[in-house]
Every structure is written in C-alpha cells, then in structure tokens.
Structure 1
Amino acid sequence: MPYLYRLTSKHTLSIKQLQHALKLVVQKHQSLRTSLIFDEQNNQLMQRIIDKNDDNSSLFTFIESTYETDGQLDSIMHDEKGNPHLFDLSQGLVCRCHLLYHKQHPRNDLLTDKDALIFNFHHALFDVPSMDVFIDDLNQAYTTGQLSHDDNTTLRYLDYAVIEQQMPMTGARMFWLDTLHGCQLDRPLSLPYDRHRLTDEHRSGRGTSVSFDFGLDLSHLFLSYASSNNIQPQHLILAAYYVFLFKLTNGERDLCIGINTYGRYREEFKQVIGMFVNAIPLRCQLDPHWSFHQLLEYVQEMESNSMKYSYFPLQRILDLYRNISKPAFLDTSFEFSISEAELDVNEICIGDSRCSYVPYSTEISEDEIMSKFDFILTVQHDLNTVCTSITLVVESTV
C-alpha cells in the first residue's frame, strides 16, 4: 500500500530526523514489526513480534534513489505497488520508506520540494485508516524526537485478536446463518463476458475501467432525493446497483455481492495500526414487482443489519458452509467512499513542513488497470468507476 508525497514549495525535511522518527513509530506499533511465517508441520500461519530493542534486526526498510522525470516516478510507484519481493514477511519487514531525490542526492541531508517520498506498507498488517495513525505519530516523533507509549495500558493490534476470540459470536453466527440460508454462495452471478475464465489460475489481475461524472444537475437530484427521503447516499447507490445487476444478469433475483468493512467497531481500535478490514456478503433477494422505493427500504434495512454483525470474521462465515469451495460473492463488489480531496492523508504535516499526497493510478496501460474483482462499482462523491476483469470483457462491453 504505497503513499506518494511531495513537499510543498520552499519546505524541507531532515533525512536523519525522518529516519529516527520512523524508528520510533515502528517501535511503538507492534504490527509494523510482526513477522508472518507458515508452519508447514502444523499447517498454520504463525505471527511473531520482533523485539524493538533487538539491535541485530532491521525494523523497517529505508532506501534512497534518484529520478529525473515523472515517467520514472510512475515506474517506481508501479514497482512499489506490485512487486511482492519488496517486503520480507518472515523477518517482519512490512514497512518501507523510499526517498526519491530529483536528479541527485542532496549534500545537506535535506529533502526539498523537488524530491518525493513513498511510505509503503504490506496490506497483511495495514489498512487505510492506519495511515492517519501513522502520520500523527510520525509528526509527533519528528517534532519532539520521542514517542511515548506503554504496552501495558495502550491497546495493541495483538489485543484485537484476543478480543475477537473472546467476543460472544452466537448472535452474529445466527444472523449470518439466517441471512444466507438457501443462498448458493459458490454460484457466480451470470454476468455477460467476452472472454471465458476457467479457474482462478487464469486470473490475470488486469481490468478495464470506465469513469464518469454524474454532473451537477444529476448529483443535486440524487442528493435531494436521499435527503428528502431520509436515506444515506450509499444506500441509494447500492439499491441502484442491485437494479443494474438484476438487469445485467437477465433477471436474477438472488443477488449476493461482497463489501469491505473497516472493522474498527470499538473506539479504541481507531488508534491502532493494523489490518482490520473484513469482507462480508450483502444478499439482496429482489422482488421484481417492488417499486424502487420498496427496494430502497429493503436495501437500507438489509445493509444496516449486515453492518451490525460485520465484526463476524469472513473466515467464520465461510466455516458455516464448509461444502463451499470458492465463495463467488467476493468476485462482485461494491465500494462507497469519500473523494480523495477529503481524505486526511491528502496533505500531511511532518514537523513544520507540509507534504502533498500524489494520487497514484492503477493503470497498467492506456486501457487497463489492476483489478482483483470480476466486477466492482466504486463510488466517490463526484467520481463513479466501474471496473471489470479484462479476462472476462473487453473495453467496448464496459
């Protein structure tokens, strides 16, 4: 998960100070120094926290290089995004800082506005909300040269696993059993395709993206309808998405799709760095005789109830249906998010310096993007993107 930043005009950063601040942040957050090793003998994934005081262990990766053109910067970001060899999970190296100097290394130990820096994290131990926690702590560590914490009183990512194991799950288990009763979880939606994919081994990770803007008039009507009917915008979009899938699949009434939830259902989790994201199914049993308003009320109740029990881990949901070899609902997804302009990471402060976030495109080529879904609708405030796997359709179909 790479984040690319550039310093704003006339701002500088001390490289030595930044490196020390990074060390303090990684020492504080155990998830940033956690190794993942698969124990073949016991057939299970093992986690081990690297001792923060172990002088023989590198707690994070810190590298420096140069670039001259924006094209070279894009190539570096593409490598940071897609190169699986940049991290060493067995050694707990899940955090990277890549300094990019414009044309040459500085002589005065300072990053300038012509330079760039990339913070990159392995997704197994980091999610989007973690970035706010990381930046806040980095700023404090850079400014003061210290970062106070107490493992005995501060909630750790490890505590999240313990809390999850101790939570009463009976109610959530019964909810998902009832919600998914009779649902054919291994049957994919009959979406139209141009290229047939036999198995997951043939998934290329390439997709086609089409972006479009609702425009001011349609956006105003959309928000006015949601407001006048006391409906959240994501419920309105989700209901329309189900209608679209109903038509796209030639009238399939049982529509089960996947959605990612942030999983930080307790206030204490908001200050912890880690991977809290949990995927859950959203099942809509659509009655073609409903009016759109009836469907909207149904979707609103269904989504709200599903979110109440979104803390139930995906693996436990799948364990309820052990006869299912592959959950097909994960191939069709929905995402509703705020626009990048409103994200806290859009502009950050490190000490007295300001850094601007540089958006990174997932484009592979002019017509292709990286995609792990067969079909996904991603909705932002004024940007709506439909992504489908290039192995299934060509651009003209999208």
Structure 2
Amino acid sequence: YNFEYRLSLPIDRQRSSTDQRSGLGSLVEISFDNEVATSFLNYASSHHVTPFQLGLATFYTFLFKLTHHQKDLCISSLNANRYRNELQNVLGMFVSTLPYRIELNSYWTFDELVKFVHGKCLSILSHSHYPLQHILADFHLNQSNIAFLETVFYFVSMSFDMSQLSVHGTSLEEVSLDQSTEVAKFDFMSTFIYNPLRDNKKLSCFFVCSNDLYEEKTLENIARRFQYFVSQLFTMNPSVKELNLWNIPINNLQIILPEEANELHKILFKKVSNSINEDDICDVIFQVVVKGFLMTRNPIN
C-alpha cells in the first residue's frame, strides 16, 4: 500500500509537504429529519450492523462518488480501544487511531457494500490492540507523511443527558462544537452524531475541514451533497423507495443536487435549433455532464 496515496477530494488549494499548518478550519452542520434517522437505525438493525458500520459504509459510498470513483479508500477513525473486559469500567483515556481501508467494487450494491464493511470492521477491531505508531514503525514511516490520517470518520451515540452529568458534586457543561469552528486538526473530518434524547433532528453530521485546503463555500457544497445523498438513501417515502437504491450498483448512485439535475434535464431535452450541428450538441451535453456529475465546487443558483 502506498501510504502517500491521497484521495482526490475537491480541494481549493494545494499544500506541499513543507507547508506549515495554520490549524484554522471551518465547520458545517447538517441535520436529518426523524424519518431519515428512523430509517437509518431500522436498516442497521435489520441488517445486523452497528450504526458506526452503516455510517462508515455510507461515508465510503459518498467518498467514492466525491472522488470521481476512486476505489481504494483509506481513512482513519477513533476507537475506544477497550478490547479487554477488565478495561471496560476503568477510568482513563484508551482511545486509539485505526486505519480503515477498503478496495470496493463499483458494481456492488449498497447492501453488498454494507455487508463487506461489517466484515472489514470486525477484522480491523480484532487487531486494534496493535498501536498505530508500531504499524508505521514497521514500515519505517513518519506519521506526518501519512495521507489517510488526514481524512477522518467518527460516529458518536449519545446515551445520556450531558446537561445532567456531574463528578463528585461538580457539574459538567457540554461545549458546543460551534465554539471550535476555527480549529481543524485534520484536513477533512466527518462526525455523525445520534442523540435519541432530542425530539427532532436526532441524527446529524458535522464536517470540519482545514482552511488551508478548502474554501468555506466548498465545504458547504460538500455538506449539502452529503445531506441530500443520505436523505435519498434512507428516505421512507414509498414513491422514492420504489427506486430501491439499496439494490442498485453504487456506481449508479448520484450526489448531484436537485438544481443541477434540473439544469441538466432542461439542456438535454431542450429543442435544439437545426442550425446547431451534431458536434456542437455533443459538446453542450459533455459540458453539462462534467458540470453536474464531476462535482462542481459551487452550487448552481
């Protein structure tokens, strides 16, 4: 594996290996309605996978589309690292960083991808006791040059009311992520949060990206695409579910936004004057397809 291999994400600026990080970042939060959250959890339950595994499979699918169909996807995630029973109730920080690499087949259905990710996660966790720094040392690598550490996925399930948390009589206050919007430890980080205590918007997602690479407008556009993609994938609308997105090849899934689809539809089906030759028509169609399907950085107004 080439540890310097990078995902072809839609960055706005290149950064050389010698550039110093500014540490500045932008945050965008997206929320899903309760129908999508319920469908997401029902899918996880019926397919015998954890919410983390389903979220990871969804994120892999989105990255596959966002990177123009890159099949070798390696990212990192955090693990509680309490692999022994005696560690479950011990106070302390045991969290470790694990690499999650997948070589997907573009003809897999979403169901097949979820099943594969489930098995991959179990395999990774069985070796979670081996520290990442030892893995890198085995290959004589410096952690600062490892590309997959810059793309991070995380899933947080809230199991209690943080506002009621206290230790030895001292009340602890929850800090909003909005207060850390100017800090980016990684280039690209996506965090799913499931909070069953909320009346609405139980499932949400935060994107935090480095300002060294991304304009805020680009991040907002990525987040909008992800929100629309997840909403389509887990909608409970019967008329939409007839499309059965879980059972078509992931290669056929789209992250194109509705306004882009409308523009594409208008141009493709617009009456073309007889004065325009066939080559010109093909050129127009090509420009629209590139604009719509190969990830424009700015939404179409």
CA distance in 2, matches of 1:283, 1:197: 24
Corresponding residue of 2:297: none
Corresponding residue of 1:283: 101
Deviation, structure 1 residue 356: 4.5
Q: Compared with structure 1, are the counterparts of its residues 324 and 205 closer, same or farther at alpha carbon in structure 2 (3 Å cutoff)?
A: closer
Corresponding residue of 2:147: 328
Deviation, structure 1 residue 337: 1.0
Match 2:174 to one of 342, 358, 363: 358
**Is the Cα–Cα contact under 8 Å of residues 188 and 208 in structure 2 kept in the other structure?**
yes
Corresponding residue of 2:41: 223
- What is the correspondence of 1:202-217 to structure 2 with a 5 Å cutoff? 202-217=20-35
1:244 alignment partner AA: F
CA distance in 1, matches of 2:13, 2:49: 38
**Is the Cα–Cα contact under 8 Å of residues 208 and 389 in structure 1 kept in the other structure?**
yes
So what's the TM-score if we normalise by structure 1? 0.49
Match 1:317 to one of 123, 135, 143: 135
- What is the correspondence of 1:245-264 to structure 2 with a 5 Å cutoff? 245-264=63-82
Deviation, structure 1 residue 346: 4.7
Match 2:183 to one of 363, 370, 376: 370
Q: Compared with structure 1, are the counterparts of its residues 246 and 309 closer, same or farther at alpha carbon in structure 2 (3 Å cutoff)?
A: same
Q: Compared with structure 1, are the counterparts of its residues 380 and 255 closer, same or farther at alpha carbon in structure 2 (3 Å cutoff)?
A: same
So what's the TM-score if we normalise by structure 2? 0.64
Stretches of structure 1 lacking an aligned partner (at least 5 in a row): 1-182
**Is the Cα–Cα contact under 8 Å of residues 81 and 96 in structure 2 kept in the other structure?**
yes
Q: Compared with structure 1, are the counterparts of its residues 343 and 257 closer, same or farther at alpha carbon in structure 2 (3 Å cutoff)?
A: farther
Question: 1:266-285 CA distances to partner (integer Å, 9 max, x unpaired)?
Answer: 23334544442211110010
Deviation, structure 1 residue 311: 0.7
Deviation, structure 1 residue 393: 0.8
Larger-Rg structure: 1
Question: 1:12-66 CA distances to partner (integer Å, 9 max, x unpaired)?
Answer: xxxxxxxxxxxxxxxxxxxxxxxxxxxxxxxxxxxxxxxxxxxxxxxxxxxxxxx
**Is the Cα–Cα contact under 8 Å of residues 209 and 387 in structure 1 kept in the other structure?**
yes
CA distance in 2, matches of 1:224, 1:200: 47
Q: Compared with structure 1, are the counterparts of its residues 363 and 369 closer, same or farther at alpha carbon in structure 2 (3 Å cutoff)?
A: farther
Question: 1:224-260 CA distances to partner (integer Å, 9 max, x unpaired)?
Answer: 2222222221111111100111111111110000111
**Is the Cα–Cα contact under 8 Å of residues 73 and 102 in structure 2 kept in the other structure?**
yes
CA distance in 1, matches of 2:141, 2:43: 43
Q: Compared with structure 1, are the counterparts of its residues 372 and 360 closer, same or farther at alpha carbon in structure 2 (3 Å cutoff)?
A: same
Corresponding residue of 1:393: 214
CA distance in 1, matches of 2:131, 2:101: 17
The answer to whether the aligner puts 1:337 opposite 2:156 as a matched pair is yes
Question: 1:284-330 CA distances to partner (integer Å, 9 max, x unpaired)?
Answer: 10110111111111101001110111110111111222256721110
CA distance in 2, matches of 1:273, 1:201: 38
**When you count helix as a share of all residues, which structure comes out higher?**
2
Worse-superposed segment, 203-212 or 341-350: 341-350
1:337 alignment partner AA: V
2:27 alignment partner AA: S
Corresponding residue of 1:384: 205
CA distance in 2, matches of 1:324, 1:356: 37
Instruction: Report SS of the residue matched to 1:264.
Output: coil
**Is the Cα–Cα contact under 8 Å of residues 197 and 203 in structure 1 kept in the other structure?**
no
- What is the correspondence of 1:163-242 to structure 2 with a 5 Å cutoff? 183-199=1-17, 201-242=19-60
Q: Compared with structure 1, are the counterparts of its residues 200 and 387 closer, same or farther at alpha carbon in structure 2 (3 Å cutoff)?
A: farther
Deviation, structure 1 residue 338: 1.5
CA distance in 1, matches of 2:141, 2:157: 38
Match 2:86 to one of 249, 253, 268: 268
**Is the Cα–Cα contact under 8 Å of residues 162 and 174 in structure 2 kept in the other structure?**
no
**When you count strand as a share of all residues, which structure comes out higher?**
1
Identity, in percent, stands at 34
Number of residue pairs aligned between Structure 1 and Structure 2: 210
1:296 alignment partner AA: V
Q: Which has the higher contact order (CA 8 A, sep 6+)?
A: 2
RMSD: 2.2
Question: 1:339-382 CA distances to partner (integer Å, 9 max, x unpaired)?
Answer: 3x7266852153xx462523244546xxx431111111101102
Q: Compared with structure 1, are the counterparts of its residues 217 and 323 closer, same or farther at alpha carbon in structure 2 (3 Å cutoff)?
A: closer
Q: Compared with structure 1, are the counterparts of its residues 276 and 219 closer, same or farther at alpha carbon in structure 2 (3 Å cutoff)?
A: same
Instruction: Report SS of the residue matched to 1:370.
Output: coil
CA distance in 2, matches of 1:227, 1:273: 30
1:376 alignment partner AA: M
CA distance in 1, matches of 2:176, 2:104: 37
Deviation, structure 1 residue 196: 1.9
Question: 1:113-153 CA distances to partner (integer Å, 9 max, x unpaired)?
Answer: xxxxxxxxxxxxxxxxxxxxxxxxxxxxxxxxxxxxxxxxx
